[in-house]
Chains A and B, each alone.
Chain A
Amino acid sequence: MFEKEIEEFIEKVRTRREFLKMSGKGLAGITVTASVLNLIGCTKEEPTSTEVPTGAAAFVIPKGLIVSQPNRCTGCQRCEMVCTVANDGKVHPYVSRVKIARNFNYGSEMTDNYRNENGYFGNFLMTPETCRQCEDAKCAAACPADAISQNEATGAWTVDENKCVGCGACVQACPWNMPTIDPETGKSTKCILCGECAENCITGSLSLIPWEKLEAMLRRRGYRLS
Protein backbone atom coordinates (compact mmCIF):
# COMPACT_ATOMS: atom_id res chain seq x y z
CA MET A 1 0.00 0.00 0.00
CA PHE A 2 2.86 2.32 0.88
CA GLU A 3 4.46 1.30 -2.38
CA LYS A 4 1.53 2.68 -4.37
CA GLU A 5 1.56 5.93 -2.40
CA ILE A 6 5.25 6.37 -3.00
CA GLU A 7 5.01 5.61 -6.71
CA GLU A 8 2.22 8.13 -7.03
CA PHE A 9 4.19 10.76 -5.22
CA ILE A 10 7.28 10.25 -7.35
CA GLU A 11 5.19 10.35 -10.47
CA LYS A 12 3.64 13.67 -9.47
CA VAL A 13 7.01 15.19 -8.62
CA ARG A 14 8.44 13.91 -11.91
CA THR A 15 5.69 15.33 -14.10
CA ARG A 16 5.63 18.63 -12.29
CA ARG A 17 9.35 19.00 -12.54
CA GLU A 18 9.21 18.26 -16.28
CA PHE A 19 6.35 20.66 -16.67
CA LEU A 20 8.26 23.32 -14.74
CA LYS A 21 11.32 22.80 -16.93
CA MET A 22 9.36 22.99 -20.17
CA SER A 23 6.80 25.64 -19.46
CA GLY A 24 8.51 27.39 -16.57
CA LYS A 25 5.24 27.04 -14.74
CA GLY A 26 4.78 25.58 -11.27
CA LEU A 27 1.80 23.63 -10.06
CA ALA A 28 -0.15 23.16 -6.87
CA GLY A 29 1.29 21.49 -3.81
CA ILE A 30 1.30 17.72 -3.38
CA THR A 31 -0.13 16.17 -0.25
CA VAL A 32 2.49 14.18 1.59
CA THR A 33 1.80 11.10 3.68
CA ALA A 34 3.87 9.65 6.49
CA SER A 35 5.41 7.00 4.26
CA VAL A 36 6.50 9.64 1.76
CA LEU A 37 7.99 11.76 4.55
CA ASN A 38 9.95 8.74 5.62
CA LEU A 39 11.08 8.12 2.05
CA ILE A 40 12.39 11.62 1.53
CA GLY A 41 14.20 11.66 4.84
CA CYS A 42 11.91 14.04 6.71
CA THR A 43 11.20 11.58 9.48
CA LYS A 44 12.92 8.45 10.65
CA GLU A 45 9.70 6.89 11.87
CA GLU A 46 8.65 3.90 9.84
CA PRO A 47 4.98 4.55 9.08
CA THR A 48 2.58 2.11 10.65
CA SER A 49 -0.55 3.29 8.93
CA THR A 50 -1.39 5.03 5.69
CA GLU A 51 -3.89 7.32 7.26
CA VAL A 52 -1.62 9.57 9.29
CA PRO A 53 -3.11 13.01 8.82
CA THR A 54 0.08 15.02 8.87
CA GLY A 55 -1.17 17.95 6.84
CA ALA A 56 2.21 17.93 5.20
CA ALA A 57 2.62 19.19 1.64
CA ALA A 58 5.40 19.42 -0.96
CA PHE A 59 5.98 22.12 -3.58
CA VAL A 60 8.09 21.67 -6.67
CA ILE A 61 10.39 24.66 -7.25
CA PRO A 62 13.43 25.02 -9.52
CA LYS A 63 15.86 24.43 -6.63
CA GLY A 64 14.09 21.30 -5.45
CA LEU A 65 11.16 20.41 -3.22
CA ILE A 66 9.82 22.64 -0.46
CA VAL A 67 8.19 20.43 2.17
CA SER A 68 5.95 21.81 4.89
CA GLN A 69 5.40 19.65 8.01
CA PRO A 70 3.14 21.12 10.68
CA ASN A 71 4.22 18.59 13.30
CA ARG A 72 7.69 20.18 13.39
CA CYS A 73 6.60 23.80 13.57
CA THR A 74 7.49 25.41 16.92
CA GLY A 75 5.80 28.74 16.25
CA CYS A 76 9.01 30.75 16.42
CA GLN A 77 7.75 32.83 13.49
CA ARG A 78 11.27 33.32 12.18
CA CYS A 79 10.09 32.28 8.71
CA GLU A 80 7.84 35.36 8.48
CA MET A 81 10.64 37.64 9.46
CA VAL A 82 13.16 36.02 7.15
CA CYS A 83 10.71 36.22 4.23
CA THR A 84 10.28 39.95 4.63
CA VAL A 85 13.93 40.72 5.36
CA ALA A 86 14.90 38.82 2.22
CA ASN A 87 12.22 40.24 -0.04
CA ASP A 88 11.38 43.65 1.45
CA GLY A 89 14.51 44.66 3.33
CA LYS A 90 12.54 45.03 6.56
CA VAL A 91 10.83 42.86 9.15
CA HIS A 92 7.15 42.98 8.39
CA PRO A 93 5.30 39.80 9.39
CA TYR A 94 1.98 41.31 8.37
CA VAL A 95 3.02 41.16 4.70
CA SER A 96 5.01 37.95 4.95
CA ARG A 97 4.29 35.53 2.15
CA VAL A 98 4.41 32.63 4.56
CA LYS A 99 1.81 33.02 7.30
CA ILE A 100 2.13 31.64 10.79
CA ALA A 101 1.29 34.48 13.21
CA ARG A 102 -2.36 34.47 12.23
CA ASN A 103 -2.61 30.76 13.09
CA PHE A 104 -0.50 31.02 16.21
CA ASN A 105 -3.10 31.56 18.94
CA TYR A 106 -6.12 29.64 17.66
CA GLY A 107 -5.29 27.93 14.36
CA SER A 108 -7.25 29.00 11.31
CA GLU A 109 -10.45 29.62 13.24
CA MET A 110 -11.31 30.63 16.80
CA THR A 111 -14.16 28.55 18.23
CA ASP A 112 -15.75 28.23 21.65
CA ASN A 113 -13.89 24.95 22.01
CA TYR A 114 -10.55 26.73 21.49
CA ARG A 115 -8.87 25.00 24.44
CA ASN A 116 -9.07 21.74 22.48
CA GLU A 117 -8.52 23.02 18.97
CA ASN A 118 -5.45 24.05 16.99
CA GLY A 119 -3.20 26.84 18.19
CA TYR A 120 -1.14 27.76 21.22
CA PHE A 121 -4.31 28.23 23.29
CA GLY A 122 -5.35 24.70 22.41
CA ASN A 123 -3.30 21.71 21.31
CA PHE A 124 -0.29 23.89 20.30
CA LEU A 125 -0.50 22.86 16.65
CA MET A 126 -0.13 25.52 14.00
CA THR A 127 0.54 25.31 10.31
CA PRO A 128 2.82 27.65 8.45
CA GLU A 129 0.71 28.50 5.40
CA THR A 130 2.34 29.14 2.08
CA CYS A 131 0.95 30.02 -1.31
CA ARG A 132 -0.25 26.88 -3.11
CA GLN A 133 0.87 28.26 -6.48
CA CYS A 134 -2.49 27.12 -7.87
CA GLU A 135 -2.84 25.70 -11.33
CA ASP A 136 -5.81 27.95 -11.76
CA ALA A 137 -4.68 30.98 -9.76
CA LYS A 138 -7.69 32.92 -8.58
CA CYS A 139 -5.47 35.81 -7.50
CA ALA A 140 -4.17 36.33 -11.03
CA ALA A 141 -7.62 35.96 -12.57
CA ALA A 142 -9.08 38.56 -10.24
CA CYS A 143 -6.40 41.17 -10.75
CA PRO A 144 -7.85 44.09 -12.77
CA ALA A 145 -4.36 45.30 -13.71
CA ASP A 146 -3.01 41.97 -14.94
CA ALA A 147 -0.25 42.36 -12.39
CA ILE A 148 0.04 38.68 -11.40
CA SER A 149 1.63 36.28 -13.83
CA GLN A 150 3.70 33.14 -13.68
CA ASN A 151 7.40 33.82 -13.54
CA GLU A 152 9.29 32.05 -16.33
CA ALA A 153 12.20 30.93 -14.21
CA THR A 154 10.50 29.90 -10.98
CA GLY A 155 6.99 29.05 -12.00
CA ALA A 156 5.64 31.15 -9.14
CA TRP A 157 2.67 33.43 -9.57
CA THR A 158 4.43 36.74 -9.13
CA VAL A 159 3.23 40.30 -8.58
CA ASP A 160 4.58 42.93 -10.97
CA GLU A 161 4.96 45.90 -8.65
CA ASN A 162 4.86 48.33 -11.51
CA LYS A 163 1.44 47.13 -12.54
CA CYS A 164 -0.08 46.42 -9.10
CA VAL A 165 -2.53 49.15 -8.06
CA GLY A 166 -2.96 47.81 -4.51
CA CYS A 167 -6.71 47.27 -4.85
CA GLY A 168 -6.65 44.02 -2.87
CA ALA A 169 -8.71 42.01 -5.37
CA CYS A 170 -6.12 39.21 -5.18
CA VAL A 171 -6.37 39.08 -1.41
CA GLN A 172 -10.11 38.65 -1.64
CA ALA A 173 -9.94 36.18 -4.53
CA CYS A 174 -7.38 33.82 -3.00
CA PRO A 175 -9.25 31.07 -1.15
CA TRP A 176 -6.58 31.19 1.60
CA ASN A 177 -6.00 34.96 1.72
CA MET A 178 -2.34 34.51 0.99
CA PRO A 179 -1.48 37.81 -0.73
CA THR A 180 -1.31 40.92 1.49
CA ILE A 181 -1.25 44.59 0.56
CA ASP A 182 1.82 46.19 2.13
CA PRO A 183 0.52 49.27 3.95
CA GLU A 184 3.87 51.00 3.43
CA THR A 185 4.17 50.50 -0.34
CA GLY A 186 0.54 49.98 -1.30
CA LYS A 187 1.53 46.91 -3.35
CA SER A 188 0.48 43.29 -3.09
CA THR A 189 2.97 40.75 -1.78
CA LYS A 190 2.85 37.03 -2.41
CA CYS A 191 5.22 34.10 -2.38
CA ILE A 192 7.79 33.92 -5.19
CA LEU A 193 9.24 30.55 -4.08
CA CYS A 194 12.62 31.99 -3.19
CA GLY A 195 13.09 29.31 -0.53
CA GLU A 196 14.55 31.59 2.18
CA CYS A 197 11.93 30.63 4.78
CA ALA A 198 12.74 26.97 4.38
CA GLU A 199 16.48 27.53 4.35
CA ASN A 200 16.20 29.30 7.70
CA CYS A 201 13.54 27.21 9.45
CA ILE A 202 14.98 26.09 12.78
CA THR A 203 13.47 22.60 12.81
CA GLY A 204 13.01 21.80 9.15
CA SER A 205 9.25 22.28 9.47
CA LEU A 206 9.66 24.10 6.21
CA SER A 207 12.47 22.41 4.35
CA LEU A 208 14.07 22.67 1.00
CA ILE A 209 15.31 19.39 -0.45
CA PRO A 210 17.59 20.15 -3.41
CA TRP A 211 17.09 17.96 -6.46
CA GLU A 212 20.47 16.21 -6.14
CA LYS A 213 19.72 15.26 -2.55
CA LEU A 214 16.25 14.01 -3.42
CA GLU A 215 17.57 11.92 -6.30
CA ALA A 216 20.23 10.37 -4.09
CA MET A 217 17.73 9.61 -1.37
CA LEU A 218 15.35 7.94 -3.79
CA ARG A 219 18.15 5.97 -5.41
CA ARG A 220 19.22 4.57 -2.07
CA ARG A 221 15.70 3.22 -1.58
CA GLY A 222 15.53 1.77 -5.08
CA TYR A 223 13.49 4.51 -6.77
CA ARG A 224 14.36 6.88 -9.60
CA LEU A 225 13.11 10.36 -10.26
CA SER A 226 14.25 10.71 -13.83
Chain B
Amino acid sequence: MLYLILEQALNGLQYGLMLFLLAAGLTLVFGIMDLINLAHGSLYMIGAFLTAAFFQALQSFFPALLLAILATAAIGVILERLLYRRLQGMNHLSQVLATFALILIANETIKIIFGAQPLMIGMPASLSGAVELVADELYYPAYRLLIIGVGLTVALGLYLLVNRTRVGMWMRAGASNPQMAAVMGVRIKPMFTFVFALGAALCALAGALLGPLLAVSVGMGESILIPAFEVIVIGGIGSMRGALVGALLVGMIDTVGRLVLTFGLKLVVASGTAATLGPTLASMMVSLLMVGVLFFRPQGLFPARG
Protein backbone atom coordinates (compact mmCIF):
# COMPACT_ATOMS: atom_id res chain seq x y z
CA MET B 1 0.00 0.00 0.00
CA LEU B 2 2.80 2.39 0.90
CA TYR B 3 4.55 1.80 -2.41
CA LEU B 4 1.27 2.11 -4.24
CA ILE B 5 0.75 5.52 -2.69
CA LEU B 6 4.35 6.42 -3.47
CA GLU B 7 3.86 5.43 -7.08
CA GLN B 8 0.68 7.47 -7.26
CA ALA B 9 2.51 10.39 -5.69
CA LEU B 10 5.04 10.20 -8.52
CA ASN B 11 2.16 10.10 -10.99
CA GLY B 12 0.71 13.10 -9.22
CA LEU B 13 4.02 14.91 -9.49
CA GLN B 14 4.17 14.13 -13.19
CA TYR B 15 0.58 15.26 -13.81
CA GLY B 16 1.14 18.35 -11.71
CA LEU B 17 4.26 19.31 -13.65
CA MET B 18 2.45 18.90 -16.95
CA LEU B 19 -0.34 21.09 -15.61
CA PHE B 20 2.33 23.57 -14.63
CA LEU B 21 3.59 23.79 -18.22
CA LEU B 22 0.09 24.75 -19.33
CA ALA B 23 -0.71 26.94 -16.36
CA ALA B 24 2.58 28.84 -16.68
CA GLY B 25 1.68 29.99 -20.18
CA LEU B 26 -1.89 30.74 -19.20
CA THR B 27 -0.88 32.74 -16.17
CA LEU B 28 1.84 34.66 -18.04
CA VAL B 29 -0.51 35.58 -20.86
CA PHE B 30 -3.18 36.62 -18.42
CA GLY B 31 -0.95 38.32 -15.90
CA ILE B 32 1.11 40.23 -18.43
CA MET B 33 -1.26 40.84 -21.30
CA ASP B 34 -4.49 40.92 -19.26
CA LEU B 35 -5.95 38.49 -21.73
CA ILE B 36 -8.08 35.48 -20.93
CA ASN B 37 -7.25 32.76 -23.40
CA LEU B 38 -9.65 29.83 -23.49
CA ALA B 39 -7.87 28.57 -26.60
CA HIS B 40 -4.73 27.82 -24.60
CA GLY B 41 -5.75 24.17 -24.52
CA SER B 42 -6.02 24.22 -28.30
CA LEU B 43 -2.33 25.10 -28.55
CA TYR B 44 -1.66 22.05 -26.42
CA MET B 45 -3.73 19.94 -28.79
CA ILE B 46 -1.99 21.45 -31.82
CA GLY B 47 1.37 20.70 -30.24
CA ALA B 48 0.41 17.08 -29.65
CA PHE B 49 -0.93 16.63 -33.19
CA LEU B 50 2.13 18.25 -34.75
CA THR B 51 4.33 15.93 -32.71
CA ALA B 52 2.33 12.97 -33.95
CA ALA B 53 2.58 14.19 -37.54
CA PHE B 54 6.31 14.85 -37.37
CA PHE B 55 6.77 11.53 -35.59
CA GLN B 56 5.05 9.69 -38.41
CA ALA B 57 7.27 11.48 -40.91
CA LEU B 58 10.57 11.11 -39.03
CA GLN B 59 9.93 7.96 -36.98
CA SER B 60 11.93 9.51 -34.21
CA PHE B 61 10.52 11.06 -31.08
CA PHE B 62 12.85 13.82 -29.94
CA PRO B 63 13.38 15.57 -33.28
CA ALA B 64 9.61 15.45 -33.77
CA LEU B 65 9.15 17.03 -30.36
CA LEU B 66 11.58 19.84 -31.13
CA LEU B 67 10.00 20.58 -34.48
CA ALA B 68 6.53 20.58 -32.95
CA ILE B 69 7.57 23.03 -30.26
CA LEU B 70 9.06 25.39 -32.82
CA ALA B 71 6.04 25.09 -35.10
CA THR B 72 3.56 25.70 -32.27
CA ALA B 73 5.54 28.70 -31.09
CA ALA B 74 5.39 30.03 -34.65
CA ILE B 75 1.63 29.51 -34.71
CA GLY B 76 1.51 31.37 -31.41
CA VAL B 77 3.40 34.31 -32.90
CA ILE B 78 1.02 34.45 -35.87
CA LEU B 79 -2.05 34.27 -33.64
CA GLU B 80 -0.72 36.96 -31.37
CA ARG B 81 0.02 39.29 -34.25
CA LEU B 82 -3.26 38.70 -36.06
CA LEU B 83 -5.79 38.29 -33.30
CA TYR B 84 -4.70 38.52 -29.71
CA ARG B 85 -3.16 41.94 -30.13
CA ARG B 86 -6.56 43.15 -31.25
CA LEU B 87 -8.33 41.39 -28.39
CA GLN B 88 -6.04 42.83 -25.80
CA GLY B 89 -7.86 46.12 -25.51
CA MET B 90 -11.28 44.49 -25.50
CA ASN B 91 -13.33 43.49 -22.50
CA HIS B 92 -13.14 40.03 -20.97
CA LEU B 93 -16.42 38.91 -22.47
CA SER B 94 -15.17 39.56 -26.00
CA GLN B 95 -11.96 37.71 -25.17
CA VAL B 96 -13.90 34.70 -23.88
CA LEU B 97 -16.01 34.63 -27.04
CA ALA B 98 -13.19 35.12 -29.49
CA THR B 99 -11.04 32.44 -27.90
CA PHE B 100 -14.06 30.14 -27.70
CA ALA B 101 -14.40 30.69 -31.44
CA LEU B 102 -10.73 29.80 -31.82
CA ILE B 103 -11.34 26.51 -30.01
CA LEU B 104 -14.09 25.63 -32.48
CA ILE B 105 -11.88 26.58 -35.42
CA ALA B 106 -8.87 24.66 -34.08
CA ASN B 107 -10.87 21.51 -33.33
CA GLU B 108 -12.56 21.49 -36.70
CA THR B 109 -9.37 22.24 -38.61
CA ILE B 110 -7.55 19.42 -36.84
CA LYS B 111 -10.47 17.13 -37.64
CA ILE B 112 -10.29 18.08 -41.31
CA ILE B 113 -6.52 17.58 -41.52
CA PHE B 114 -6.04 14.52 -39.31
CA GLY B 115 -9.49 12.92 -39.23
CA ALA B 116 -11.59 12.20 -36.18
CA GLN B 117 -9.63 9.13 -35.11
CA PRO B 118 -7.13 9.57 -32.27
CA LEU B 119 -3.45 9.30 -33.25
CA MET B 120 -0.75 7.42 -31.43
CA ILE B 121 2.77 8.58 -30.75
CA GLY B 122 5.25 5.75 -30.15
CA MET B 123 7.31 5.98 -27.01
CA PRO B 124 11.06 6.26 -27.62
CA ALA B 125 12.38 2.71 -27.33
CA SER B 126 15.17 3.68 -24.97
CA LEU B 127 12.64 4.96 -22.45
CA SER B 128 9.97 2.32 -22.69
CA GLY B 129 11.31 0.30 -19.77
CA ALA B 130 10.84 0.73 -16.06
CA VAL B 131 13.35 1.93 -13.53
CA GLU B 132 13.71 0.09 -10.24
CA LEU B 133 13.38 2.79 -7.62
CA VAL B 134 13.07 0.54 -4.59
CA ALA B 135 14.45 -2.97 -4.95
CA ASP B 136 11.70 -5.48 -5.81
CA GLU B 137 9.00 -3.11 -4.59
CA LEU B 138 8.71 -0.07 -6.78
CA TYR B 139 9.27 0.01 -10.51
CA TYR B 140 8.50 3.26 -12.24
CA PRO B 141 8.30 3.85 -16.01
CA ALA B 142 11.42 5.59 -17.28
CA TYR B 143 9.39 7.75 -19.60
CA ARG B 144 7.38 9.20 -16.73
CA LEU B 145 10.60 9.92 -14.87
CA LEU B 146 11.76 11.81 -17.94
CA ILE B 147 8.58 13.87 -17.86
CA ILE B 148 9.16 14.69 -14.21
CA GLY B 149 12.74 15.66 -14.99
CA VAL B 150 11.76 17.88 -17.91
CA GLY B 151 8.98 19.47 -15.88
CA LEU B 152 11.29 20.30 -12.99
CA THR B 153 13.93 21.68 -15.36
CA VAL B 154 11.40 23.88 -17.15
CA ALA B 155 10.01 25.09 -13.82
CA LEU B 156 13.51 26.05 -12.68
CA GLY B 157 14.24 27.67 -16.04
CA LEU B 158 11.06 29.73 -15.95
CA TYR B 159 11.77 30.81 -12.40
CA LEU B 160 15.24 31.97 -13.40
CA LEU B 161 13.89 33.63 -16.55
CA VAL B 162 11.24 35.61 -14.71
CA ASN B 163 13.19 36.47 -11.59
CA ARG B 164 16.82 36.67 -12.66
CA THR B 165 16.98 38.00 -16.21
CA ARG B 166 16.45 41.35 -17.83
CA VAL B 167 13.62 39.93 -19.98
CA GLY B 168 12.01 38.65 -16.81
CA MET B 169 12.30 42.06 -15.26
CA TRP B 170 10.54 43.57 -18.27
CA MET B 171 7.88 40.90 -17.99
CA ARG B 172 7.26 41.69 -14.36
CA ALA B 173 7.20 45.40 -15.11
CA GLY B 174 4.75 44.84 -17.95
CA ALA B 175 2.58 42.74 -15.69
CA SER B 176 2.29 45.28 -12.93
CA ASN B 177 1.88 48.37 -15.09
CA PRO B 178 2.24 48.14 -18.87
CA GLN B 179 1.86 51.88 -19.51
CA MET B 180 4.50 52.79 -16.99
CA ALA B 181 6.80 50.06 -18.27
CA ALA B 182 6.36 51.36 -21.82
CA VAL B 183 7.19 54.88 -20.70
CA MET B 184 10.29 53.59 -18.98
CA GLY B 185 11.49 52.11 -22.25
CA VAL B 186 10.31 48.50 -22.24
CA ARG B 187 9.30 47.46 -25.72
CA ILE B 188 5.95 46.07 -24.68
CA LYS B 189 4.65 44.73 -27.98
CA PRO B 190 7.59 42.50 -28.91
CA MET B 191 7.61 41.31 -25.32
CA PHE B 192 3.94 40.32 -25.56
CA THR B 193 4.70 38.38 -28.72
CA PHE B 194 7.57 36.66 -26.95
CA VAL B 195 5.44 35.81 -23.91
CA PHE B 196 2.71 34.39 -26.11
CA ALA B 197 5.15 32.32 -28.14
CA LEU B 198 6.71 31.05 -24.93
CA GLY B 199 3.27 30.02 -23.66
CA ALA B 200 2.56 28.23 -26.93
CA ALA B 201 5.92 26.45 -26.82
CA LEU B 202 5.22 25.24 -23.26
CA CYS B 203 1.82 23.97 -24.42
CA ALA B 204 3.44 22.07 -27.25
CA LEU B 205 6.02 20.60 -24.88
CA ALA B 206 3.26 19.34 -22.56
CA GLY B 207 1.23 18.01 -25.46
CA ALA B 208 4.20 16.24 -27.00
CA LEU B 209 5.36 14.69 -23.73
CA LEU B 210 1.88 13.46 -22.84
CA GLY B 211 1.29 12.22 -26.40
CA PRO B 212 2.77 8.75 -25.88
CA LEU B 213 0.79 8.31 -22.64
CA LEU B 214 -2.61 9.49 -23.88
CA ALA B 215 -4.30 9.21 -27.21
CA VAL B 216 -3.84 12.37 -29.23
CA SER B 217 -7.40 13.33 -30.00
CA VAL B 218 -9.57 16.26 -30.98
CA GLY B 219 -10.86 18.06 -27.90
CA MET B 220 -7.99 16.92 -25.66
CA GLY B 221 -7.22 20.56 -25.00
CA GLU B 222 -10.55 21.24 -23.40
CA SER B 223 -10.35 18.48 -20.83
CA ILE B 224 -7.04 19.73 -19.49
CA LEU B 225 -7.94 23.40 -19.72
CA ILE B 226 -10.26 23.30 -16.70
CA PRO B 227 -7.62 21.90 -14.30
CA ALA B 228 -5.15 24.42 -15.71
CA PHE B 229 -7.57 27.23 -14.95
CA GLU B 230 -8.11 25.84 -11.47
CA VAL B 231 -4.37 25.85 -10.98
CA ILE B 232 -3.92 29.49 -11.85
CA VAL B 233 -6.93 30.57 -9.82
CA ILE B 234 -5.62 28.68 -6.79
CA GLY B 235 -2.11 29.98 -7.26
CA GLY B 236 -3.06 33.54 -8.05
CA ILE B 237 -3.30 34.82 -11.59
CA GLY B 238 -0.05 36.09 -12.99
CA SER B 239 2.14 34.41 -10.41
CA MET B 240 4.70 31.86 -11.57
CA ARG B 241 5.30 30.54 -8.07
CA GLY B 242 1.53 30.28 -7.58
CA ALA B 243 1.22 28.30 -10.80
CA LEU B 244 3.85 25.79 -9.65
CA VAL B 245 2.40 25.34 -6.16
CA GLY B 246 -1.14 25.20 -7.52
CA ALA B 247 -0.20 22.68 -10.20
CA LEU B 248 1.51 20.38 -7.73
CA LEU B 249 -1.42 20.66 -5.31
CA VAL B 250 -3.94 19.88 -8.03
CA GLY B 251 -1.83 17.06 -9.46
CA MET B 252 -1.39 15.43 -6.06
CA ILE B 253 -5.00 15.79 -4.94
CA ASP B 254 -6.32 14.48 -8.22
CA THR B 255 -4.01 11.48 -8.44
CA VAL B 256 -3.46 10.45 -4.84
CA GLY B 257 -7.00 11.45 -3.88
CA ARG B 258 -8.27 9.14 -6.60
CA LEU B 259 -6.48 6.16 -5.10
CA VAL B 260 -7.26 6.94 -1.47
CA LEU B 261 -10.89 7.82 -2.10
CA THR B 262 -11.52 4.77 -4.26
CA PHE B 263 -9.91 2.59 -1.61
CA GLY B 264 -11.87 4.25 1.16
CA LEU B 265 -15.15 4.07 -0.73
CA LYS B 266 -14.68 0.36 -1.33
CA LEU B 267 -15.10 -0.12 2.40
CA VAL B 268 -18.48 1.57 2.26
CA VAL B 269 -20.12 0.89 -1.10
CA ALA B 270 -19.92 -1.71 -3.86
CA SER B 271 -16.51 -1.72 -5.55
CA GLY B 272 -17.95 -0.94 -8.98
CA THR B 273 -19.56 2.23 -7.70
CA ALA B 274 -16.42 3.12 -5.79
CA ALA B 275 -14.31 2.77 -8.93
CA THR B 276 -16.38 5.39 -10.73
CA LEU B 277 -17.11 7.58 -7.73
CA GLY B 278 -13.54 7.82 -6.43
CA PRO B 279 -12.08 9.69 -9.43
CA THR B 280 -15.12 11.96 -9.51
CA LEU B 281 -14.77 12.88 -5.88
CA ALA B 282 -11.06 13.52 -6.43
CA SER B 283 -11.85 15.91 -9.28
CA MET B 284 -14.49 17.52 -7.14
CA MET B 285 -12.01 17.97 -4.31
CA VAL B 286 -9.84 20.01 -6.65
CA SER B 287 -12.76 22.29 -7.41
CA LEU B 288 -13.61 22.47 -3.73
CA LEU B 289 -10.02 23.43 -2.98
CA MET B 290 -10.35 26.22 -5.51
CA VAL B 291 -13.58 27.39 -3.91
CA GLY B 292 -11.99 27.29 -0.47
CA VAL B 293 -8.95 29.24 -1.60
CA LEU B 294 -11.10 31.86 -3.29
CA PHE B 295 -13.26 32.10 -0.21
CA PHE B 296 -10.40 32.94 2.12
CA ARG B 297 -7.92 34.48 -0.29
CA PRO B 298 -9.84 35.84 -3.28
CA GLN B 299 -6.61 36.74 -5.08
CA GLY B 300 -5.18 33.23 -4.84
CA LEU B 301 -2.39 31.84 -2.72
CA PHE B 302 0.40 33.95 -4.20
CA PRO B 303 -1.14 37.11 -5.62
CA ALA B 304 1.09 38.57 -8.30
CA ARG B 305 -0.04 42.14 -8.02
CA GLY B 306 0.24 42.86 -4.33
Partners in one complex: no
